[in-house]
């Protein structure tokens, strides 16, 4: 529905579907926990919400699959510390926190206004006691480890390789204003625990850069997940899983989001279901 303060997105859910997981704390009578005129308050995992700009960088499929791959197979009661590099609005951070309810989750973000918006989402969902966002460039200001899980969705393109958007937040989200995948992996490799896991999302076109960085840093390359937007198309992004040591060649997997008729595949339905989202689209 439209609201003079912004847009509060209504729930669009299949009949009979109930959101799993804890309830958010909500606005708590605080004006800063209501959407501003240029913002919307959208659903994320379960009934948790996220503030984002109506026009500007918004959370996306990349964040969803990163959070799913990162937390896949982890015991939700044993991960104590997680780190999200370049956390932006906090979408991956919050999905990880939703899936790992006993973890303290820290994000670092170079754009102060995005970090501030992420903190509002943390407060709205009632998890400020265990989630925080640190201001700063991840190459210089990342908190000390060890972390059992490190995630990141770096910008996909070096500067000068395309036309940068003039929309707020969009250009640094796509172009490497604050470091590329090599920087993310270097910081992650330094902060991850000896038995921990790194999950980094990158453009499928940048896979050679990922491979070279993994080799240069001496990381173990455990898994590679190719994300295909529709059956018959090329992969759009990849999510790589690394450890401090281990095999140099990853085990390869694929997630096809939609079949040739445009329907969500069973694999993608599982991703959504595991992260507290309806596995079937709402009825028209």
For residues 25 and 207, give the distance between their C-alpha atoms in angstroms, rounded to a whole number.
Answer: 40
In a domain, 246, yes or no: yes
Cis peptide before 146 (omega within 30 of 0): yes
User: What pLDDT does 164 receive?
Assistant: 39
Task: State the pairing for strand pair 147-152/220-230.
Answer: unpaired
Q: Classify 184 as helix, strand or coil.
A: helix
For residues 167 and 127, give the distance between their C-alpha atoms in angstroms, rounded to a whole number.
Answer: 30
User: What pLDDT does 157 receive?
Assistant: 53
Size of the chain in residues: 284
Q: What is the DSSP letter of 109?
A: E
Asked whether 258 and 264 are in contact (CB, 8 A), the reply is yes
In a domain, 14, yes or no: no
User: What pLDDT does 2 receive?
Assistant: 45
Provide the 10 A C-beta neighbour count for residue 187: 23
In a domain, 24, yes or no: no
Backbone torsions φ then ψ of 272, nearest 5 degrees: -60, -45
In a domain, 247, yes or no: yes
Task: State the pairing for strand pair 192-203/147-152.
Answer: parallel
Asked whether 122 and 170 are in contact (CB, 8 A), the reply is no
Domain of 263, in residue numbers: 60-274
In a domain, 279, yes or no: no
Helix (H) / strand (E) containing 74 = none
User: What pLDDT does 160 receive?
Assistant: 47
In a domain, 37, yes or no: no
In a domain, 38, yes or no: no
Chain centre distance of CA 255: 16
Q: Classify 141 as helix, strand or coil.
A: helix
Asked whether 124 and 44 are in contact (CB, 8 A), the reply is no
The total domain count for the chain is 1
CATH code: domain of residue 225: 3.40.50.150
pTM value > 0.75: yes
Could you list the beta-strand ranges (E) of 55-153.
81-85, 104-109, 131-135, 147-152
**Ordered per-residue pLDDT tens for the chain, 284 residues:** 444 669 999 998 999 999 999 999 999 999 999 999 999 999 999 999 999 999 888 999 999 999 999 999 999 999 999 999 999 999 999 999 999 999 999 999 999 999 999 999 999 999 999 999 999 999 999 999 999 999 999 885 554 444 434 555 554 545 444 568 999 999 999 999 999 999 999 999 999 999 999 999 999 999 999 999 999 999 999 999 999 998 879 999 999 999 999 999 999 999 999 999 999 887 65
User: What pLDDT does 130 receive?
Assistant: 98
For residues 170 and 72, give the distance between their C-alpha atoms in angstroms, rounded to a whole number.
Answer: 29
Backbone torsions φ then ψ of 16, nearest 5 degrees: 85, -5
In a domain, 284, yes or no: no
Q: Is 238 left (phi over 0), alpha (psi -120 to 50) or beta?
A: beta
Chain centre distance of CA 216: 25
User: What pLDDT does 4 receive?
Assistant: 60
């Amino acid at each position: 529905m439209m609201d003079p303060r912004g847009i509060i997105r209504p729930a669009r859910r299949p009949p009979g579907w109930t959101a799993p997981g804890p309830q958010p704390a909500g606005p708590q009578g605080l004006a800063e926990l209501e959407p501003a005129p240029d913002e919307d308050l959208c659903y994320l995992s379960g009934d948790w919400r996220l503030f984002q700009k109506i026009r500007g960088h918004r959370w996306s499929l990349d964040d969803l699959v990163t959070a799913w791959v990162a937390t896949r197979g982890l015991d939700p009661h044993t991960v104590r510390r997680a780190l999200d590099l370049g956390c932006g609005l906090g979408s991956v951070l919050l999905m990880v926190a939703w899936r790992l309810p006993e973890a303290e989750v820290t994000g670092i973000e170079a754009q102060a206004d995005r970090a501030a918006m992420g903190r509002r989402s943390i407060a709205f969902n009632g998890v400020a006691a265990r989630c925080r966002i640190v201001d700063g460039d991840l190459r210089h200001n990342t908190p000390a480890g060890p972390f059992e899980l490190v995630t990141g969705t770096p910008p996909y393109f070096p500067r000068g390789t395309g036309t940068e958007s003039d929309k707020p937040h969009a250009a640094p989200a796509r172009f490497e204003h604050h470091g590329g995948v090599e920087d993310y992996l270097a910081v992650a490799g330094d902060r991850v625990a000896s038995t921990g896991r790194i999950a980094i999302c990158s453009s499928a076109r940048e896979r050679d850069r990922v491979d070279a960085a993994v080799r240069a840093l001496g990381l173990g390359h455990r898994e590679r997940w190719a994300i295909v937007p529709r059956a018959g198309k090329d992969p759009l992004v990849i999510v790589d899983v690394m450890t401090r040591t281990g095999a140099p060649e990853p085990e390869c997997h694929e997630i096809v989001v939609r079949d040739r008729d445009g329907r969500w595949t069973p694999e993608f339905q599982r991703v959504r279901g595991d992260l507290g989202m309806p596995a079937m689209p709402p009825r028209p």
